[in-house]
Structure 1
Amino acid sequence: MSDRSITDIDIPGVIDTNSTDFIDEFYNPLLTRASEYKRGVGYFSGSWVQSASRGLATLAEQGGSAKWIMSPILDSTDREAIKKGNKARCDEVIRESLLEDISSLETALDNQTQNAISWLIADGVIEIRFAVPTNGLAGQFHDKWGILRDADGNRVAFHGSQNDSYNAQLNYESYDIFCDWKHETDLTRVNKHEERFDRLWNNEVDSVTIHTIGETIRRELIQLRTTDERPYTPPDDESLSHNITLRPYQQDAVDAWFENNHCGLFQMATGTGKTYTALGAMDELNQITDSPLFVVVSVPMTHLASQWAESLKEFDYTSPHFIYGSANPSWKKSLDRIVSDFNLGLSDTEIVITTHTSGSKEEFRDTITRVDGEILLIGDEVHNMGSEHRKKGLLPAYDYRIGLSATPERFYDEEGSEYLLRYFEGTIYKFTIGDAIPEYLSRYNYYPRVVEMEPAELSEYRTYTHKIVSTKNNPQSDEETLSRLLQNRARIIKSAEAKFAELRDIIQESDVDHMLIYTNYEQINQTQKIMTDEGVIHRRFTAEESDDERQEILSAFASGTFEALVAMKCLDEGVDVPSTKKAILMSNSKNPMEFVQRRGRVLRRHGDDKEPAEIYDIIVVPTLNPDAELLESEQSIVEKELDRFNRFVKNANNTTSAELSIQRIRTAYQV
């Protein structure tokens, strides 16, 4: 933990100007410990900078940054022009307003404060954007809130009535304050306030238009300097850059990517840092290329977008754009603006985070092909991009390509797998789970738990087996009928009653702590009932919860508020849950993509914890005493079922005892 943490400050939930000096007791203590400051405010004056100069200077000296959204001073004529949507006139109005503000700064500020603001802008410590209500809102941008983050990622959000001006300090004003490390309610509010700021900053709010100051205005602000000496000591070049150092194998993957003409698939075990590896490649490319770089990060599920955004921050890329419906209903308009600004040279690097579904839509594809510059595609869990529809999102326009997956081959889709290999120009680097244990991933104990079907289930299972054999032997049968029969028979295995008794036994004999339980739709309610009966504090984690709810659930799970999560498919891919210690596999398909990902969730290292993880795998067989007919029909099925066992046992701590525990199956079915 940093020695300058904002958690060291005693921060009350509410402050007011009657009892608190906002500058000395709130702003300066936080700013001197902050690495990032986001502020949305109606009005701002240089006098506020003068008052908070100590905190801002320390922010600058520590390599921190500030983003301010504020309201420009506009008269009624200006507002009418903006309301009518004349872009050229809008830009001119904003420019004239800013020039007037610059002139005011020159006459109103003493040299010291004027120089401070100019140097902060020149060094990129402060970036300013202006907000103008549009689309039905005819008033002013008048909101006032902020978020501060320290080097350890702790955040404080505040919301209240005060503008950043000298006069506001003389008023009776107040702030509500929320600290994300204190409790879940505060965490939720901090997330909401930061999400609100980021959407505004990225011009993703329909009723507000955000204007950047532009390079011309920026230069005029910088020219206010009257001295070549900064009023603060800047960090050296080393501290200005991110402090992420790739692991040796991650750097090997990056080197292989450069050698392969900036294309390739990284086949890396879940939990070995595929995200960091891809961002390391992106960052290195961005440092050496002379051309502006447009980056598209494509994720399989929306809740992974925020996880990528957090990783990007660690590489000092703090303003990615979320371009998909649930995060930004106006994503098409936003993407069009981002590309237009990029083509105009308003930024050297733009990063958009989208989903595989949105990225394959015609509107997304058409807009991306208009990018005037070099484009990098990072495809997370890339095996999901090989379907017939999503392949459309794999554009020739992407100059550079990175595909990430622990299992890039698509199950039962050889054509899709080959397409991905061709598009990304092959798998250029592999790092297996065996390579990663124990240095980078946790050791684990694997406990197969064999259960048999109930007599009624076995009878139904036999009936379906007879129908399946009959259908296969009937040349007039169609594939749809056979598929339905196979699904119905598989459902008997997935929902076998003995699984629930076995689950109860495992919970009773285990110390339930940071446990994941993987279920399916048919199992989840009964699984939760057992957890409740056994006194386990738990929460379900499914596709039904919103992205915000999922983040809150994961945070509560990491802190120990929930002892267990009962999850369906949305925890299979990419979700970082390093605090997990145990997993119970109630439901599994034969798809390696699914069960390999599930194993990976529990093997991520958490701090200095050296204890092996524990994986309980409930394996269902029709019976351990099969007759000749059942042996003949089920032998190949049981053999496929043991494919998961063979993969899991290979790298387990307790290989011998695990092998012994399924010897009964091998003997009974002669596999």
Structure 2
Amino acid sequence: MPNPDTFRHLDLPRVIDTADTEFVSEFYTPLLSRAVRYDRGAGFFSSSWIESAARGMADFAENGGVARWITSPILGEEDWEAFKEGMEAQSDEILKEHLEDQITDLRYDLEYHTRNTIAWMIADGLLEIRFAVPKGDLTGDFHDKFGIMEDSEGNTVAFHGSQNDSKTALSNYEAYTIDCDWLSDRDAEGVQYQKKRFNRLWDGKFDNVDIYSIPEAAKEQIARLRDDDYRPYTTPEEVNSGITLRPYQQEAIESWQENGQRGLFEMATGTGKTFTALAATEAAFDRPDPPELVVIAVPFTHLAPQWKEEMELFDIGTPTYAYGTDNPDWKVDLSKAISNLNLGVTDREALLTTHKTLSNSYFREKIQKHHGTSLLIGDEAHHLGSEHQQSGLLVDYDYRIGLSATPKRYFDEEGTEYLLDYFGGVVYEYTLGEAIPKFLTPYEYHPIIVELSADELEEYRLLSHRLAKVAHNEDADDEIRERLAQKRANIIKSAENKYGQLRSALNRLDSVDHLLVYTNSEQLEHVQEILNAEGLIQHKFTYHEDSDERERILSGFEDGEYDALVAMKCLDEGVDVQATKQAILMSNTGNPMQFVQRRGRVLRQFPGKEKSTIFDFIVVPTTNPNSELVESEKGILKKELRRFEEFAANAMNEVEARNKIGHLRIQYQISVDEDE
């Protein structure tokens, strides 16, 4: 049964019109009372527009909602021309002058409750208004009329039509077309189109439309219209910025606080570890001895912009990039931030850095010179347990948050213990099984068994035989043993039959839709050739692309510009590819951190995404091994099967997936108990 507090509970038709629908009571109010985000583009800035646009806004604000409105200023012909000249200072002054009269009208024309709600929301930063001014070939007004609303579970409604937000419009014959992203792929596509269009407008990305913010003086004038003795809504206690946390995220924060504001969040990939950490940080500001300095350390530079974007939703402050790739002057900026805190010039600073820079001697030295309280967030904290990275985990960080779906380090008990001790243990755990299907997408899991070719098998047998001899020779050189093992592993890595199985997996898909293919550097180009031959539009995603190019690739993938991405390890951790519906894992290791992250890339929820499909390759010398191969391969295969059991355990087709690898267990004499 749909949650009555979400949009799914509402019976929204494809089209509504004023002949049969009372827009205020039957459309705006039911949606806004459930919404947490409201993006709107329409009308002229006037008391009539504000009064109409504000319908239901008190309930919306009570939800902790955040609104962005794009409208058109009321200007004379000369002022329009001045705007189109693009002089920022001049435009700001013109806006200020014209808004003064409009703001006076707000005071006298708006009824008290509406005026007070809007003034409070602007003062609290819950509502921002920007002005659109067409230019170039567009000589008229900004006359678009559309909106996007989102509820607390991410369900999104987009509407577009003839109705403007005004009293007059409500008495006209008007209509809206409505898209609901949970109803169908077409609706989801319509919602995504309107969201993308609004965001491009908001960010000023259209060449023929200029966007202007309200001048600060005018914003203050509107804020002064509020009644200081009566706020018409209360902000949610759990997140001051207006974000509604999921229940398990709030539980994680409470556990962290009870543990002295230290601890590791062991949460499945895709369950919102970043939001949880930022919300915990924001909550720490309201507790005794709040942190002055917030340091967020990410494993890879391309994750920093994602953190920065999400930080904008919280009252933490704009972070400084404190690493060289995106900020050549990071040392100067870091030194200045610490000095400003110590001298009282600023009362809070936030730094975004990398794991590598966190352990840099200059970075550590500056952090140790900070006199006040500090908080460290270690993203993908398992990396910080390595011998080198441990040096960045200073005792100077008073409060500590570690984030990882897999905090146990692979074959490194000492590193794992160091992490657990430093962060104060795992204070909250949220598993994949708990998250599906409410917060993560259900998935089908299809193991694909790949055998070596005859020539590969013969070479593999010879290398295995040589390795066995070396293993029984106490005088054998360790380097020779490692070279032989690596050479044998490369046969598995580059197995020729992977290509045929790739084609087979592609044919098993009804249609390729937002597909990730994980491969290795040796096979990447051939995989791209196969996808091209299948008529698929694809792009590689590797370490060689810079940050801007990666952002463009991911954006194109989300928007459907590419059918598939061909990726290597750089998509394992933290990269947000929510649109992914299908994955083919051609290259894997026994490292649980890697395969858990890869699965997580596919399970994030996205509009129109009802389920995900994962094909997972396991390469074996043969499905009919002799006793020698059983002896040499049993240990290796045991590690591989751990991954398969992990994937199968929560799959929609669990029995089918387990049966697929049952034959291998029998042939290689591996029981389920041996996986433990």
TM-score, structure 1 as length reference = 0.70
Question: 1:567 matched to which residue of 2?
Answer: 567
1:358 partnered with 2:417:
no
Question: 1:207 matched to which residue of 2?
Answer: none
Give the drift of 1:481.
2.8
Cα deviation code 1:406-453 (max 9, x no counterpart)? 000111111111111111111111111111112211111110111210
Between stretches 342-351 and 365-374, larger displacement belongs to 342-351
Cα deviation code 1:229-265 (max 9, x no counterpart)? 9267797674694221211111111111111111111
Give the drift of 1:358.
1.0
Question: 2:97 matched to which residue of 1?
Answer: 50
Question: 1:523 matched to which residue of 2?
Answer: 523
Question: 2:398 matched to which residue of 1?
Answer: 399
SS at match of 1:397: coil
The letter for the 1-side match of 2:500 is A
Distance 2:203 2:84 in 1: 25
Which residue of 72, 77, 80 corresponds with 1:21? 80
The letter for the 2-side match of 1:554 is L
Q: 1:184, 1:556 within 8 Å by CA — same for their partners in 2?
A: no
Give the drift of 1:647.
0.8
Question: 2:488 matched to which residue of 1?
Answer: 489
Q: 1:291, 1:373 within 8 Å by CA — same for their partners in 2?
A: no
Question: 1:321 matched to which residue of 2?
Answer: 320
Q: 1:382, 1:405 within 8 Å by CA — same for their partners in 2?
A: yes
Cα pair distance change 1:52/1:22, threshold 3 Å = farther
Distance 2:232 2:407 in 1: 42
Matches within 5 A, 1:606-645: 606-607=606-607, 609=609, 611-645=610-644
Give the drift of 1:475.
1.9
Question: 2:55 matched to which residue of 1?
Answer: none
Question: 1:414 matched to which residue of 2?
Answer: 413
Give structure 1 regions of 4+ aligned residues with deviation exceeding 3 angstroms: 1-4, 6-12, 16-20, 22-27, 40-48, 51-65, 122-126, 150-153, 179-191, 231-241, 289-292
Q: 2:582, 2:613 within 8 Å by CA — same for their partners in 1?
A: yes
Question: 2:535 matched to which residue of 1?
Answer: 535
Cα pair distance change 1:283/1:526, threshold 3 Å = same
Question: 1:550 matched to which residue of 2?
Answer: 550
Give the drift of 1:296.
0.3
Q: 1:264, 1:426 within 8 Å by CA — same for their partners in 2?
A: yes
Give the drift of 1:48.
5.2
Give the drift of 1:289.
3.4
Between stretches 418-427 and 291-300, larger displacement belongs to 291-300
Give the drift of 1:552.
1.4
Give the drift of 1:471.
2.1
Question: 1:5 matched to which residue of 2?
Answer: 40
The letter for the 1-side match of 2:347 is D
SS at match of 2:312: helix
Between stretches 430-439 and 476-485, larger displacement belongs to 476-485
Give the drift of 1:43.
7.8
Question: 1:98 matched to which residue of 2?
Answer: none
Q: 1:180, 1:187 within 8 Å by CA — same for their partners in 2?
A: no
Distance 2:342 2:362 in 1: 18
Give the drift of 1:618.
1.1
Question: Can you give the 5+ residue segments of structure 1 that lack an aligned partner in the other structure?
Answer: 28-39, 66-119, 127-149, 154-178, 192-217
1:230 partnered with 2:224:
yes
The letter for the 2-side match of 1:285 is A
Give the drift of 1:347.
2.7
Q: 1:649, 1:659 within 8 Å by CA — same for their partners in 2?
A: yes
SS at match of 1:535: coil
Between stretches 630-639 and 349-358, larger displacement belongs to 630-639
Identity %: 44
Distance 2:81 2:536 in 1: 45
Cα pair distance change 1:660/1:45, threshold 3 Å = closer
Question: 2:292 matched to which residue of 1?
Answer: 293
Distance 1:593 1:228 in 2: 51
Question: Can you give the 5+ residue segments of structure 2 that lack an aligned partner in the other structure?
Answer: 1-34, 45-68, 107-114, 129-146, 151-193, 207-215, 671-676
Question: 1:582 matched to which residue of 2?
Answer: 582
Cα pair distance change 1:540/1:20, threshold 3 Å = farther
Distance 1:564 1:51 in 2: 50
Cα pair distance change 1:598/1:323, threshold 3 Å = same
Distance 2:102 2:585 in 1: 51
The alignment covers a number of residue pairs equal to 523
Cα pair distance change 1:237/1:342, threshold 3 Å = farther
Q: 1:300, 1:384 within 8 Å by CA — same for their partners in 2?
A: yes
Question: 2:592 matched to which residue of 1?
Answer: 592
Question: 1:206 matched to which residue of 2?
Answer: none
Cα pair distance change 1:346/1:44, threshold 3 Å = farther
Between stretches 2-11 and 249-258, larger displacement belongs to 2-11
Give the drift of 1:151.
9.3
Question: 2:196 matched to which residue of 1?
Answer: 181
TM-score, structure 2 as length reference = 0.70
Q: 1:471, 1:477 within 8 Å by CA — same for their partners in 2?
A: yes
Cα pair distance change 1:666/1:290, threshold 3 Å = closer
Cα deviation code 1:184-205 (max 9, x no counterpart)? 99999959xxxxxxxxxxxxxx
The letter for the 2-side match of 1:358 is T
Alignment RMSD, CA only? Answer: 3.9
